[in-house]
Structure 1
Amino acid sequence: MKRALSCSGALALLCLPPMAGADTTVPHDDLSPLVVTGTRTPIDSFRAPLIIDTLDRHDPTLSTASRLEDALGGQPGLSVAGQGRRNGQTISMRGFDRNGVLVRLDGVRQDIDTGHLGNVFADPALLREVQIARGALSSLYGSNAMGGVISLETVDADDLLRAGETRGGRLSLRGATASDEIGATLSVFGKTDTAHGELDGLLAVGRSKSGDIRRAGGQTAPDDASLDSLLAKGGWQPADDHRLFTQWQHYREDAHQPGNPQTLEPTDGTLRDRTTTSDNLQLGHRWTPTPTTQLDSRLTLSRQNIDEPEAERTQQRLGAQSDGYHRLDHGWLSQTLAFGAEATTATQRPGKQASGFPRADIDTAALYVDDSLAVGRYLDDGGVGRFELGLGARYDHYRAEDAEGRDSDEGRLSPRLRLSWSPSDSLMFYSGYAEAFRAPTLSELYADDRHFAGFCAGPFFCAPDNYWVPNPDLGPETSKTWESGFAWRAGDWGLRASYFDTRANDFIDTEVDIMAGTTRATNVNRAHLWGFDARLQYRPGDLPVEAFVGLSEVSGHDRDSGEALGTLTPLEALTGLDYYLVDHDLTLGWRGRFARAYDKGDEPQPGYGLHDLQLAWQVSPAVSTSLSLRNVADKTWYRPDGNLGDGRSLLANLNLQW
């Protein structure tokens, strides 16, 4: 029913004639329209007490991307694991791996746990924006948000409609030389006023085909894949303060690749067929009684299925959530309140001979509130500066149970405290404390099948078959983080930097006993993580250029053994220079990606310096193109996890709109 509503709503709009004299402007309030992931409220990102990076669809980095690595791989302090295959891409940030970084697609968490397979399935061609919020954010988002939150937002009709238009179409063609990829996305979109309110909708269908992936230095990761994607959205605004919306996002990849897609070559010398599908459905309501108050409520259904000849894994999640904010402003005193609740039930179903993916269910419920109180006047206005105090907390409860009746019942409170002082409108200092957690996955709690077959290493040494041992008493990982920083802007310059110190407890590790033939997830490690992020930007108003530098470093060790951790990142930098021509219709850009050498335990990792070139050209109102030449010198380099980075590749995107 939801699918039919999304598709029919979008298609019906295209058949309606444009309304004469229709007002196509979008109302704005006195707040910034950007809803910042780290605050859940519309706010000037300069005022957000954390480091946020944003990519939009006009940036060639995102507009030419065909996989997550293309879009996020150059971000300092963020690592995309794998060898370029979509099925093997997972994200690490601030010392936390895939389970400690929450990824959301249009507000729906993406967290299927399938061993070496990825947990994020999204076609970048359908994205309008990516926000990367760094830091402990469980007080707003609950489990997994220990190293940060990555929010992926898909495009809608208003993003594609030009001024004065009420309907249109768009054909996007794209390709990448490193993977011999070619693809296309066709979108139709529109909006119209009716006697019962405004209707809007979008329908986008995409397909791409790719082959073996060329990695750094010319090595090849065998792959043969085709991707089909669909995005259907529809909205109805019966009144100025009410909006109903629905959407369906579909992803299907058919691939011929190694059993472990994160390896360069298959360890057993064979490739297998794998079909990955992901569906995310939403039905929601937005209430905006005042320009400074909003409440979003939605029902969501997400389903991921990974099907192979000998194994099938399916996760389904049904949820209800409501998130809102309210702001009061009295000049020298203002208050912003963010609040919400959510409840979900998730099921995990194995098929055929799936290993490490037990039949189990988990129910979660959460409440959160976050209050920011700002008071005072700037020094120039005769005050002592503007102070802002933020207090927030979220309570999460989860109950998991497997087919044998073994259950795990836990609750967790995640508080957050922050204080900032702004002596002027152009300078802010902030400091804060936050606790975060991540619940163990169903696989970590209940896996009880065979992990791997026994083997003989010689005539006198043979190991038995190895089996998972369930651990329903496994506790959640937890962390306590202090973070301090500042933000400064003056004229053409802007600078933002922060330093964080994290004490993490009860890391979930996998203990393998070869002779006993067992594998078990246990809470063992205690970690100390620390590092910094900094962003410098230069935007001169009288010159057609823009430049920026981003820096990040994550250090740490096991607090018990003193050994270095495996998810650290060396000092990394992303630098860029853009030159604007033809009234900003043509932009030439350079990106530099640099990292310092460091020791990863007993494995020294070499440093690297990479150079990318890019172009964005609005040829005419109907034609635009983006080009990105990555790793121009085809330098051999390695990501912090030891995997080869991306090789030289030309990525291109051509858009035709009518």
Structure 2
Amino acid sequence: MQKNRVVLSLAASFMLCANALAEDTVKLDTIEVSSTVANTQTVDAYKVNTRNAGLLKDVLRDIPGVYMGGTNGYNQKIYMRGMNDRALNITIDGARQKGNTFHHNADLLIDPAIIKAVDVGVGVHSVVGTSGAMGGSVAFKTVDASDLLEDGEIVGARINMGFASNNDEFSQGLTIYGSDEDRIFDALGYFNHRGYDFGKDGAGRAMGGDGDDYNYLLKLGVKTGDHGKLTGSYEHMEYKGIYPMKAEWPGGVDRNGKRILKDSKYTRDTFALNYDYNPNNYIDLNLNAYYTDHNLDMTKEDPSGINTGVKTWGIKAINKTNFQTGILDHTLVYGTEYYQTKAYNDSKSATSGNKFKTKTANDFGIKDDEVKSLSIFLEDQIRHGGLTFVPGIRFDKYELDTLGGKGSTYNASGKKLNGDIKGRSKYSWNEWSPALLLDYQTQFGLGGYISYAKLFRGPDVFEGIRINNVNATDTKYNEDLKPETGDTYEIGLRYSTDLSEVSSLSLSAKYFYTEYENLIGEFSTPSNPNAVRMNAGDARINGIELAAKFLYENLSLSASYSTQDTKYKNVPTVLSRGKKASGYGSGLAYSDIGDKITFNAEYFISSIDTFVGWNTIAFTSINEQKFEGEKGKVRKPGYAVHDIYATWVPNSGKFKGLEVNFGIYNIFDKTYASHSQRTLDFSSAEKSSIDFEEGRNVKFNVSYKF
């Protein structure tokens, strides 16, 4: 099982973690990307601070196989091996993030400043926790008080302030945490605010949003005996302000000198309860229960505007049992997960016709779309010497209760076919998904692996905005809906060695190949407002990911290369459009992404307790054929962006406890747009539909812990 582990340091978000080493250097905790099958990258955690990461792309975009774009909190998306965030398993403190409210918005709302760890699984190699994952998984974990308290300390606090020049952003944060002397109970309270104006791309055009981000986290922990801990938390994340209605298309910010904007609010509220219990080698148990509500509200200026959301609650239990059989060591991982997702629409404009504008979909008997998912899984990690063999199997039972489809009581004109209330369809699938991994590590630093996994993903609920009586009418496209499935294969090599007492080298290379079947598209057209959700063909995605890192005393050099290629097959024509369909409406990325190249150079100046660094991320141009049967090609120009940064963390003296970060990002004020965005053809599309990224940005942050 590959499990790329990104440990986002507490020092990066909350602590001034400077420890004196024998070589008279300062060591910050690290963001560590590691794996049981490939050690691909190691990134120092101070990068979270030096980048003043307001969006996750500032932190995760360097990882091979991971792509991030988006110029505001409404549209930041994670793409992984050709799949978007809806086809990835994304969790926050174990809570699944199923926030598909509106296809022009992203589903991920999170403040990087409170993250202590991120498990990034690039690709699927395991049956554990991967139900519904088509391209990989991302698990965020937030900080708690026990992580922040130093030895002998029972109470502490941290304040921080920051500024970013491109969008005149000011941020302020406060964290207070404490515990009793015996470390039985602990508590944490966190609040952070970011206020900003529209930013500018390299050509001076408006981008992003004009708003305020608010995040607060309350967390309580209690030890239950010597081997257990119970943790409960509540988190509220909010993006509030003036944004384009279609956040990924900045034509809503400035089109021919006219701004088309919405005063809106996008929120996430998450309750999570976690229990860990590890008394012996046979019981290493994690229990998790959660509830999350995503809500998009655009009714402040227009009461008939969008007010929709998605609610998800679930429970999960995973246990690990370690034992031996002869010369073999086993780690048995087994458990179950159940979750339920509902999409709702409280918009007064949710129903068609002027006479309906004062009522919501529920007023007309429109039920929420609902998904119920149960999975049971078993995996055995078998080891002998340098050999690891991991077979696994998962069973999924998936149920969908949705608008329209084969059970609809409405026809395409919106009239009742029978005397029933509203047209709905119910689907149910049972699926077995095996996985297999073989990994071998030699004593001289060379290792390799090969893996296979069967993929399964049931259809999501309709986006919240589509829960209305119009979309209860369409039987044509939903009648024979099938779940998304696939087969994914991967092979990799890695090598690490100490070149001397003060230098080391690590290399990794991966090749992956995935066949997807019955990808699901969801869309509508101006001529036909009915939502079309249908199996939109198959796809094949393959690619290569390379990474290298060299360390010499206080110098660190790293580089990576990623490329992928997507081929579409059996793509049907959408009759209401007269065009070919695609699976991107549900999970597939909008198009391929050019070859990604990253380079990072960092040096620690021990005499002044300061890190300095240079980062480059570049994409080659891409010119690919459109969907099968369509004429023309997709054209996206290449680009390269360069950043410099520095962080000062005094290790002793009167300034200990202070941390200062400074950086200049996009030094050369490059005008560029992420290849992962929705607009396909940069050469012919209107400039107003291209989400150009920010131009030069000077960031400064200072924090103090006491």
TM-score (norm 2): 0.77
Counterpart position of 2:544 = 532
Farther off after superposition, 140-149 or 551-560: 140-149
Report the CA distance between 1:614 and its aligned residue.
1.2
Counterpart position of 2:629 = none
CA offset digits 1:391-445 (Å, max 9, x no partner)? 1122222212246442121222222101112232622110011122322121179
Q: Structure 1 residues 345, 100: closer, same or farther in 2, change over 3 A? A: closer
Q: Structure 1 residues 317, 599: closer, same or farther in 2, change over 3 A? A: same
| Equivalent-residue separation in structure 1 for 2:695 and 2:393 (angstroms) | 44
Counterpart position of 1:374 = 383
Counterpart position of 1:489 = 496
Q: Structure 1 residues 96, 328: closer, same or farther in 2, change over 3 A? A: same
1:559 corresponds, among 569, 584, 590, to 569
CA contact 2:281–2:322 (8 Å) conserved in 1: no
Equivalent residue letter for 2:602: D
Answer yes or no: is 1:201 the counterpart of 2:181.
Answer: no
Counterpart position of 2:146 = 158
Report the CA distance between 1:62 and its aligned residue.
7.4
Query: Matched residue of 2:147: which SS?
Result: helix
Counterpart position of 1:350 = 345
CA offset digits 1:374-406 (Å, max 9, x no partner)? 124xxxxxxxxx321111122222212246442
Tell me the matched-pair count.
591
Equivalent residue letter for 1:489: S
Counterpart position of 2:398 = 398
Aligned counterparts, 1:254-653, within 5 A: 254-266=240-252, 269-290=259-280, 293-309=283-299, 310-328=305-323, 333-353=328-348, 359-376=368-385, 386-402=386-402, 404-424=423-443, 426-443=445-462, 447=466, 449=468, 471=478, 473-491=480-498, 492-510=504-522, 518-540=530-552, 543-560=553-570, 566-582=590-606, 585-601=609-625, 602-619=633-650, 620-640=655-675, 641=677, 642=679, 643-653=691-701
Report the CA distance between 1:259 and its aligned residue.
0.9
Query: Matched residue of 2:46: which SS?
Result: coil
Query: Matched residue of 1:140: which SS?
Result: coil
Report the CA distance between 1:560 and its aligned residue.
4.0
Counterpart position of 2:90 = 103
| Equivalent-residue separation in structure 2 for 1:355 and 1:215 (angstroms) | 35
| Equivalent-residue separation in structure 2 for 1:157 and 1:68 (angstroms) | 23
Query: Matched residue of 1:443: which SS?
Result: coil
| Equivalent-residue separation in structure 1 for 2:694 and 2:641 (angstroms) | 10
Counterpart position of 2:176 = 188
Farther off after superposition, 134-143 or 482-491: 134-143
Query: Matched residue of 2:185: which SS?
Result: strand
- Listed as ranges, the gaps of 5+ residues in structure 1 are 1-33, 37-43, 377-385, 453-465
Report the CA distance between 1:586 and its aligned residue.
1.2
Q: Structure 1 residues 637, 99: closer, same or farther in 2, change over 3 A? A: same
CA offset digits 1:213-255 (Å, max 9, x no partner)? 2224332116211111111111111311111111111112212
CA contact 2:51–2:58 (8 Å) conserved in 1: no
Aligned counterparts, 1:164-183, within 5 A: 164-183=152-171
Q: Structure 1 residues 287, 198: closer, same or farther in 2, change over 3 A? A: same
CA contact 2:562–2:595 (8 Å) conserved in 1: yes
Report the CA distance between 1:585 and its aligned residue.
3.1
Report the CA distance between 1:56 and its aligned residue.
6.9
Report the CA distance between 1:192 and its aligned residue.
2.3
Q: Structure 1 residues 188, 594: closer, same or farther in 2, change over 3 A? A: same
Report the CA distance between 1:292 and its aligned residue.
7.6
Query: Matched residue of 2:180: which SS?
Result: strand
| Equivalent-residue separation in structure 1 for 2:327 and 2:649 (angstroms) | 44
Equivalent residue letter for 2:452: Y
| Equivalent-residue separation in structure 2 for 1:583 and 1:240 (angstroms) | 43
Counterpart position of 1:136 = 124
| Equivalent-residue separation in structure 2 for 1:45 and 1:257 (angstroms) | 34
CA offset digits 1:165-224 (Å, max 9, x no partner)? 232100021222222111111001122244xx6112211111111110222433211621
More strand by share: 1
TM-score (norm 1): 0.83
CA contact 1:244–1:286 (8 Å) conserved in 2: yes
| Equivalent-residue separation in structure 2 for 1:138 and 1:184 (angstroms) | 40
| Equivalent-residue separation in structure 2 for 1:514 and 1:68 (angstroms) | 34
CA offset digits 1:65-122 (Å, max 9, x no partner)? 012232334444433343x110112221101123222221122111211211110111
Q: Structure 1 residues 45, 173: closer, same or farther in 2, change over 3 A? A: closer
Q: Structure 1 residues 54, 394: closer, same or farther in 2, change over 3 A? A: farther
| Equivalent-residue separation in structure 1 for 2:693 and 2:325 (angstroms) | 52
Query: Matched residue of 1:569: which SS?
Result: coil
CA contact 2:207–2:694 (8 Å) conserved in 1: no
CA contact 1:479–1:502 (8 Å) conserved in 2: yes
Report the CA distance between 1:549 and its aligned residue.
0.8
Farther off after superposition, 170-179 or 493-502: 170-179
Equivalent residue letter for 2:692: L
Farther off after superposition, 579-588 or 238-247: 579-588
CA contact 1:131–1:150 (8 Å) conserved in 2: yes
CA contact 1:628–1:651 (8 Å) conserved in 2: yes
CA contact 2:494–2:508 (8 Å) conserved in 1: yes
CA contact 2:93–2:272 (8 Å) conserved in 1: no
Q: Structure 1 residues 432, 486: closer, same or farther in 2, change over 3 A? A: same
Aligned counterparts, 1:31-70, within 5 A: 48-49=36-37, 57-60=45-48, 64-70=52-58
Q: Structure 1 residues 118, 424: closer, same or farther in 2, change over 3 A? A: same
| Equivalent-residue separation in structure 2 for 1:75 and 1:158 (angstroms) | 29
Q: Structure 1 residues 212, 450: closer, same or farther in 2, change over 3 A? A: farther
Counterpart position of 1:655 = 703
| Equivalent-residue separation in structure 2 for 1:583 and 1:165 (angstroms) | 29
Query: Matched residue of 1:621: which SS?
Result: coil
CA contact 2:98–2:341 (8 Å) conserved in 1: no
| Equivalent-residue separation in structure 1 for 2:276 and 2:206 (angstroms) | 48
| Equivalent-residue separation in structure 2 for 1:517 and 1:190 (angstroms) | 54
Farther off after superposition, 280-289 or 56-65: 56-65
CA offset digits 1:283-337 (Å, max 9, x no partner)? 2221111268411112211111111111211222221111222333689532122
Equivalent residue letter for 2:216: L
CA RMSD of aligned residues (A): 3.1
Query: Matched residue of 2:536: which SS?
Result: strand
Identity over the aligned pairs, expressed in percent? 22
Equivalent residue letter for 1:300: Y
1:219 corresponds, among 189, 205, 208, to 205
Query: Matched residue of 2:462: which SS?
Result: helix
| Equivalent-residue separation in structure 2 for 1:304 and 1:561 (angstroms) | 32
Q: Structure 1 residues 516, 100: closer, same or farther in 2, change over 3 A? A: closer
Answer yes or no: is 1:120 the counterpart of 2:108.
Answer: yes
CA contact 1:312–1:354 (8 Å) conserved in 2: no
Query: Matched residue of 1:158: which SS?
Result: helix
| Equivalent-residue separation in structure 1 for 2:478 and 2:39 (angstroms) | 37
Farther off after superposition, 559-568 or 168-177: 559-568
| Equivalent-residue separation in structure 2 for 1:533 and 1:107 (angstroms) | 28
CA contact 1:54–1:129 (8 Å) conserved in 2: no
CA contact 1:328–1:336 (8 Å) conserved in 2: yes
CA offset digits 1:616-642 (Å, max 9, x no partner)? 211343101222321110112222135
Query: Matched residue of 1:209: which SS?
Result: strand
